Structure 1
């Protein structure tokens, strides 16, 4: 028994903790930074003020994780973010294809707990900063509501990934809140006061069919949405969760200090919506539905943005400007919302896409005036307009991974964050990032420690592509314009043949297109058009564009919509090959073509996007020349399709596809690093949406590795991950490594983006 007499004053239990890097905020940015830093060998303290990790992705908010892939609704091919954020999304798709947010919580927590270098403090809020000088943080004070303990957390480096920037705010870091004028950064899209300067918060709800009638009595505070919400007719009984992202409020309030007020207003809306659905009589299909869950805390979009040594702005995104210190990329649209949110008569968002991804500079990821403070998540150094594209979670997590590797270099060289840029250490940071799986547009991995760079690489076979397998082909009506993307080398574009069926005599209109912005995937430049008469019935049609291109790149063989025609599609799928369609995807304001407002500086262009599997078959084109997927791609420094597939692909007829690496002298090999194709075109939305498969169809599931004596030194069954990092118990001394793989399926040949070996 414990018994205490009355005392004048008592102190909380106190603990002191130290680490190499203290990360404040356990949303996706904090999680990705913590895991990446821990794998770099840093001791990390991760402080999260909620009981779960994941922030807006967690079961407390339930927003899907998205980034440059944008629901497959833009022209950013193969743009899903790499590294830890990719690892989490791939794992979630495998273990949680139903999109259950509680299972996602478990997966994220499991990933963090697997890292011995991370100390996790949940339910712990930072409330005070201790500074050693005006421009340097010494420690932070935090309080855990669940164990009534006060922590004093010290570290040489800190990262603010808290969303509202509590650490940066208390430390005195320079920040902004609201929209800049159009003149400050020459941003034609900067909003005026009628539109508003901030994006609001959202709350979601989930429903459940109980199988029997359910009555609902609304609370007294429920709002009459028919009288107060201009878009009330957009509500329906079928949609719940983050599909109701537009139920938004608070953009004209203080989105930090008025959060509780904003939450209450959103609760009024949500319970009013459910009252409308259940009791208006307009939704008989909802008779058996009940409210299963309503959010308790709002998902925040925007509050403080902190100033780094560079502020990313609209033209950086639209023009896809090149930055020497690029460490990450984004590709979400510039997605701004009216400040009045659900109470506005305006469109709930304005999404303007770019012709490709944009680079994020390292100088945006640290404070310009607090020298040991990194920035991660939605608070990084961007203008309000650029924030419209950088604020989404996959982009936030991706940039946070760069912070983690930068922190490791800072400690290794005894530098502060800004010194990595000022002292010319950025090339090393970029190379370390690419090693971890980070793709940085325009950069190649030049890894002098990689033994594969000095090896002879031979394959049991190389795919010599001359056309898609026509066995079991499908004829599909040309209801929307369709195109096949083909990776071709400089020279004459291959002549192709395609099986076409006409219901009646008509004209097949075809075009050869490329992107005017080299390396992007918007087919906005037409090189040649053909019009070919087609008689009724099935015929093979020859497409000879008689065109020479001067660079290796993807070309688009486009077919204009024609309901009188059917085209043949193949069930074969090949790494780096995809068909695209000029359809619509209203989820991301894609109506087939982006018509830019006058004076906005945004481009007008067509959207040509893939279909989600099980659709999205390749057009069954047959070519007169070979497209080769050879072993040179294994060490070219790029681990996804760009201007070419960048992968070795085996011949599907090869019964035992294998890659052999040989050296003239014996090598001591301790670590082997393989990169497989987990389809970086697939968005892998983390919650609510389901996915057609748990493992991407291109991913090699089973393989083993032999040394020069035929000893099996490693075997893997059931792989589904992008990166396989193999650390052997003891180094193997060998003049050869042989990687023997199984084809993923009868319709998909084995492929590998990269093999790297280290002593």
Structure 2
């Protein structure tokens, strides 16, 4: 029993002091990825999260799907899903939660943090104080946990603000911006008219419904909106929509999205319960009779508040022109996506999205405060203009950049540096190399790893696929849209394509070979060659022989243009680095087949050619008379771990009939080996949304599940079964001296050959 007498003095809560190498404030995907990345390299990390669960907007409290450069597979950014740690998390979620249950995604994140012994996790703990060691350093942060009535004082030489609103950076005095810049400041044609369109993006609140199997009446609360049918955006509503499909239920862009968040939330409650009153009681939705509200969000998903200034500020031209800088550490590819500030009450379209032709890189200098010397920035608060923020704010882009922050913190502790020091020419290469070793895939950064023993090895394979076409399958696809087979072709060569079509009546079919204007994107914006073929009614083989060789290596698009009277034979073969795309519509990301922005806003016009999701999206059963040498075993040495626009698949692919595909690494003499890393094809083209949508597979079918590693004497060093991850890191536990390694892979899918992007070997 505890008994204390009356005290005339106030009592203090329990206080716990924590010392770490890195304190991360904010437990969304960004804070989680920064923390785990640092902890896995030995740093002691304190992760402070003011909510009871991790994940931020991706958590079960908000239930927004996590997206990034793939943009729901609705843009031209092929194979662009973010790599490294966030990809590991997405693949774990797919394995155990392919239906997209947001509660299960909570557990995936919690498990990832829980398993890291170097992380001290503080949930339900809100930072409310910052102490500075001097004018430009944070000394510690003070936070309070409402659930255990404990005050924490966390000290460290390095801090990362991933809190969304930037509570640490704000209290530390870091320079920041809030709202839209003028067009003139950064020459941004897409900068909004503030008086009309508004300064800020608002918050959104979601709800879920379920069928109770019997009539359910509904009496709205007194505060529910009484005229929901008059909302300009009510036209967006379709019965059955729930969760983040209701992203347009948005409000607050005219208010202070930091200090008025509770007011914004209550207004959104009014709207949500008013919409449900309209659905249940207006008589316009009789099919809703048995539906009831299952869940309504209690905290809104916040899009925008403060953005803090780094040594570099990302702007519209960096995104549109795909500008690259020496210190690139992450990439983005979501559209520049701005919303009218009046949200659900606005007469404007719910959002305005303009896409770039390809992914853009984000400089490291965006990820630390230019004023507070030991403070990293992660998440949506990084250094970007309002327009650029419209793209960089989405969660997978934020998480990808946060991995760079976590790795930079490791470098700072190893070499006694501050965040700005890492941006120097002397150190940035070390950071980029550390990131790419773990699958970060920084675009257009050529890095040589001096410690990777594979660079000195001779590579041989049991077989190599020399691609000359796909086998014929039983499915046919009507050309309701233009359909293209993406193929990595070489400059100065002509090609002949043969395929089978079926015409419902005599008609003409236009064929085009399209290319990309620059080897940095997958947008087919150049017609290289074309012809029109007369078809008779019925099935027939047709051929197209190019007459104008393309001028540069790169992915080309063999296009069958739209003709609903024609269907084409498909193949069941699926091969790494090869896929079909259609010139179709994806309204969810403002893709209407092509993009034609207004004059003067400095954004490109182009067509969208996008893939279908499996089990659809099969390849065309075409044959090429000139075999393509695109899958050589030496590709595993080039450092890339996904196909790139310059026309490289970057993968070794075995012949499809090879039942026991094997790779051999041979050195001229014995080498000492302790760690082996393998990089498999996890289909970086798939968006892998974390919640709501669901996916047909729990494992990406291209990933090698079972394999054995042997030394040159035949001793088994490691056997793996049931793998589903893109990156396998094999720690042998001791040094092995050998002049060769043998990798024996098991083929799992009849129509999918074994493939490997990269193997690295370290002492």
Q: Which category of TM-score, normalised to the shorter sequence, fits these structures?
A: over 0.9
Q: Paired residue for 1:2?
A: 2
Q: What is the CA-CA distance between 1:603 and the residue it aligns to?
A: 0.6
CA distance in 2, matches of 1:391, 1:655: 45
CA distance in 1, matches of 2:51, 2:114: 16
Q: Paired residue for 2:349?
A: 347
Contact 1:318-1:355 within 8 A present in 2 as well: yes
Contact 1:672-1:755 within 8 A present in 2 as well: yes
Q: What is the CA-CA distance between 1:330 and the residue it aligns to?
A: 0.3
Match of 2:468 among 435, 460, 466: 466
CA distance in 1, matches of 2:679, 2:286: 51
SS in 2 for 1:730: strand
Q: Paired residue for 1:221?
A: 223
Q: Does 1:419 align with 2:399?
A: no
SS in 1 for 2:301: coil
Q: Name whichever of 437-446 and 54-63 sits farther off.
A: 437-446
Q: Paired residue for 2:52?
A: 51
Q: What is the CA-CA distance between 1:228 and the residue it aligns to?
A: 4.5
Q: Name whichever of 679-688 and 721-730 sits farther off.
A: 721-730
Match of 1:733 among 713, 733, 737: 737
CA distance in 1, matches of 2:106, 2:592: 34
**Aligned positions of 1:737-756 closer than 5 A:** 737-756=741-760
Q: Name whichever of 540-549 and 103-112 sits farther off.
A: 540-549
Match of 2:321 among 319, 322, 331: 319
Contact 2:485-2:619 within 8 A present in 1 as well: yes
Q: What is the CA-CA distance between 1:27 and the residue it aligns to?
A: 0.2
CA distance in 2, matches of 1:91, 1:227: 42
Distance 1:111 1:427, change over 3 A: same
Contact 1:225-1:232 within 8 A present in 2 as well: no
**Aligned positions of 1:247-258 closer than 5 A:** 247-258=249-260
Q: What is the CA-CA distance between 1:664 and the residue it aligns to?
A: 2.1
Q: Name whichever of 325-334 and 530-539 sits farther off.
A: 530-539
SS in 2 for 1:17: strand
Q: Paired residue for 1:546?
A: 547
Q: Paired residue for 1:490?
A: 491
Contact 1:444-1:638 within 8 A present in 2 as well: no
Q: Paired residue for 2:372?
A: 370
Q: Paired residue for 1:287?
A: 289
Contact 2:183-2:190 within 8 A present in 1 as well: yes
Contact 1:236-1:277 within 8 A present in 2 as well: no
Q: Does 1:68 align with 2:69?
A: yes
Q: Paired residue for 1:724?
A: 728
CA distance in 2, matches of 1:402, 1:477: 45
Q: Paired residue for 1:435?
A: 437
Q: Paired residue for 1:602?
A: 603
Contact 1:355-1:521 within 8 A present in 2 as well: yes
Match of 1:269 among 259, 271, 295: 271
Contact 2:233-2:248 within 8 A present in 1 as well: no
Contact 2:528-2:549 within 8 A present in 1 as well: no
Q: Does 1:278 align with 2:244?
A: no
Contact 1:228-1:343 within 8 A present in 2 as well: no
Q: Give the 4+ runs in structure 1 shifted more than 3 A.
A: 225-228
**Aligned positions of 1:519-538 closer than 5 A:** 519-538=520-539
Contact 1:435-1:445 within 8 A present in 2 as well: no
Q: Name whichever of 525-534 and 581-590 sits farther off.
A: 525-534
Q: Paired residue for 2:650?
A: 646
CA distance in 1, matches of 2:245, 2:431: 38
Contact 1:173-1:367 within 8 A present in 2 as well: yes
Q: Does 1:680 align with 2:684?
A: yes
Alpha-carbon deviations, 1:164-183, whole Å to 9, x = none? 00000000000000111111
CA distance in 2, matches of 1:334, 1:468: 37
CA distance in 1, matches of 2:446, 2:213: 56
Contact 1:473-1:620 within 8 A present in 2 as well: no
Structure 1 gaps, min length 5: none
SS in 2 for 1:512: strand
CA distance in 2, matches of 1:489, 1:656: 30
Alpha-carbon deviations, 1:371-397, whole Å to 9, x = none? 000000000000000000000000000
Q: What is the CA-CA distance between 1:224 and the residue it aligns to?
A: 2.1
Distance 1:14 1:319, change over 3 A: same
Contact 2:678-2:760 within 8 A present in 1 as well: yes
CA distance in 2, matches of 1:232, 1:272: 11
CA distance in 1, matches of 2:552, 2:593: 28
Q: Paired residue for 2:386?
A: 384
Q: Paired residue for 1:83?
A: 84
Contact 2:575-2:753 within 8 A present in 1 as well: yes
CA distance in 2, matches of 1:225, 1:615: 42
Alpha-carbon deviations, 1:225-273, whole Å to 9, x = none? 4354112232222101000000000000000000000000000000111
Count of aligned pairs between the two proteins: 758
SS in 2 for 1:222: coil
Match of 2:196 among 187, 194, 197: 194
Q: What is the CA-CA distance between 1:422 and the residue it aligns to?
A: 3.3
**Aligned positions of 1:144-155 closer than 5 A:** 144-155=145-156
Q: Paired residue for 2:674?
A: 670
